[in-house]
Chain A
Amino acid sequence: MAVLEVRDLRVRYNNTGPEILRGIDFSVEGSDFCAVIGPSGAGKSTLIRCINRLVEPSGGSITLFGEEVLALNARDLRRMRRRIGMIFQEFNLVNRMSVMDNVLSGRLGYTGSFRSLFRLFPRHDIEKALEILARVGLSDHVNKRADALSGGQRQRVGIARALMQQPDLLLLDEPTSALDPKISRDVMSLIRDLAREFDVPVLCNIHDVQLATEFCNRIIGLQDGIKKFDGPTETMKKSDMELIYAMEVL
Chain B
Amino acid sequence: MAMTDRMASENSDRGILSSAGASTYFERRRSARIRSALIWSAAALLLFWCLHVTVIADTDWERIGGRFGVLGSIGRFLLLDLSLLPHLIIPAIETMMMATLGTLLGCVLALPVAWFGARNVTPSLYFFYPVGRFLMVLSRSVHEIIWAILFVGAVGLGALPGILAVAVRSVGFISKITAEAIENIDPKPVEAIRSVGGNQFQVMYFGILPQIMPVVLGTIIFEWDINIRRAAVMGLVGAGGLGLVFFRQMAMFNYGGVTMVLLAILMLIIIGEIVSHFARKAVT
Distance between Cα atoms of A80 and B192 in the complex (Å) = 15
Q: Which residues of A contact B211 (CB under 8 A)?
A: 94-96
B195 pairs with A86, CB closer than 8 A: yes
Question: At the interface, yes or no: B66 with Cβ under 8 Å from chain A?
Answer: no
Within 184-226 of B, Cβ neighbours of A (below 8 Å) are at: 188-189, 191-199, 201-202, 205-207, 210-211, 213-214
Main secondary structure of the interface of A (DSSP, over half): mixed
Within 231-259 of B, Cβ neighbours of A (below 8 Å) are at: none
Q: Which residues of B contact A110 (CB under 8 A)?
A: 197
Distance between Cα atoms of A97 and B193 in the complex (Å) = 13
Distance between Cα atoms of A58 and B71 in the complex (Å) = 80
Contact with B along A122-162 (1 / 0, CB 8 A): 00000000000000000000000000000000000010010
Distance between Cα atoms of A98 and B156 in the complex (Å) = 49
Give the most central of B189, B196, B205, B207: most A CB within 10 Å.
Answer: B196
Contact with B along A61-88 (1 / 0, CB 8 A): 0000000000000000011111111101
Q: Which residues of A contact B198 (CB under 8 A)?
A: 78, 105, 108-109
Question: At the interface, yes or no: A36 with Cβ under 8 Å from chain B?
Answer: no
Question: At the interface, yes or no: A117 with Cβ under 8 Å from chain B?
Answer: yes
Q: Which residues of B contact A113 (CB under 8 A)?
A: 199, 201-202
Q: Which residues of B contact A52 (CB under 8 A)?
A: 195
Closest to A90 in B: B188
Distance between Cα atoms of A116 and B196 in the complex (Å) = 14
Known: A96-B211, A113-B202. A54 touches B193 (CB 8 A): no
What are the 8 closest A-B residue pairs judged by CB atoms, nearest first? Answer: A109-B197, A82-B197, A92-B192, A81-B197, A92-B188, A108-B198, A96-B210, A86-B195
**Extra inter-chain contacts (8) besides given A52-B195, A105-B193, A105-B198, CB under 8 Å:** A80-B197, A86-B196, A92-B191, A94-B189, A94-B192, A113-B201, A113-B202, A117-B205
